[in-house]
């Protein structure tokens, strides 16, 4: 009995270790790209100031024309990197920490999530319908990561002028949040792997 229990614990640890390895790979890969961009922007600033060669007029021009744009781009990169770090922490919480459920009013919560996607929705002309969103019992952080991932996927695959809908429905006495889009759908092989962590990234 103890042997079986220890084997079960070992298998669970092995799976968790594999998931963490994938998470760290994705995180380091995604963080490296903005760091490369940041380094390139700093090099551009140094080059621009170096080309001025102590010419006060040229330095003023570089500071007034080139520097603001580079700093704005750097601010965007920093925001993106901060999002990656926060996302990694959130994913770890969802995978390994105990859930902390609470009552969530979905209509208000979904509205806040969609507000962050407003720019993409407007650019692609995608319409959103959110209806019959009940109050549910869930971990807010885990729910946000899941629904944000579903919405990101829906926004990516929904064609210009398409439609996304969100609603809740009862299934076997449980409230289920349904996210539908007008994209091409998933292949049968992808459906079989849909709950494999990070499978779509490799």
Residue 118, domain extent: 102-201
Both 144 and 77 in one domain: the answer is no
* pLDDT tens readout for residues 141-200: 778 777 877 887 888 888 888 898 988 888 888 888 888 888 888 788 877 877 766 565
Total domain count, the chain: 2
CATH number for the domain spanning 113: value is 3.30.565.10
Question: CA 101 to CA 80: how far, in whole Å?
Answer: 28
Both 92 and 108 in one domain: the answer is no
- Mean pLDDT, the chain, as a whole number? 75
**Start-to-end Cα distance in the chain:** 38
Both 28 and 88 in one domain: the answer is yes
Domain end call among 76, 96, 116 = 96
CB contact set of 81 (below 8 Å; sequence gap of 6+): 31, 34, 35
Both 120 and 138 in one domain: the answer is yes
Q: DSSP state, 39? A: H
Both 112 and 196 in one domain: the answer is yes
Global pTM? 0.54
The closest alpha carbon to 30, from 89, 72, 74, 88, belongs to 88
Domain end call among 48, 68, 96 = 96
């Amino acid at each position: 009995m103890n042997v079986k229990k220890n084997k079960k614990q070992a298998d669970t640890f092995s799976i968790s270790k594999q998931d963490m390895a994938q998470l760290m790979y994705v995180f380091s890969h995604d963080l490296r790209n903005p760091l490369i961009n940041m380094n390139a922007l700093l090099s551009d600033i140094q080059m621009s100031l170096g080309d001025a060669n102590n010419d006060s007029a040229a330095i003023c021009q570089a500071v007034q024309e080139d520097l603001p744009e580079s700093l704005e781009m750097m601010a965007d990169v920093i925001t993106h990197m901060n999002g990656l770090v926060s996302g990694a922490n959130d994913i770890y919480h969802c995978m390994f920490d105990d859930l902390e459920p609470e009552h969530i009013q979905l209509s208000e919560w979904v509205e806040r999530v969609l507000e962050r996607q407003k720019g993409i929705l407007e650019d692609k002309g995608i319409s959103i319908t959110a209806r019959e969103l009940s109050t549910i019992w869930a971990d807010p952080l885990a729910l946000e990561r899941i629904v944000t991932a579903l919405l990101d996927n829906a926004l990516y695959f929904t064609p210009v002028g398409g439609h996304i809908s969100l609603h809740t429905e009862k299934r076997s006495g449980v409230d289920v949040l349904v996210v539908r889009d007008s994209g091409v759908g998933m292949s049968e092989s992808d459906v079989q792997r849909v709950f494999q962590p990070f499978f779509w990234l490799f």
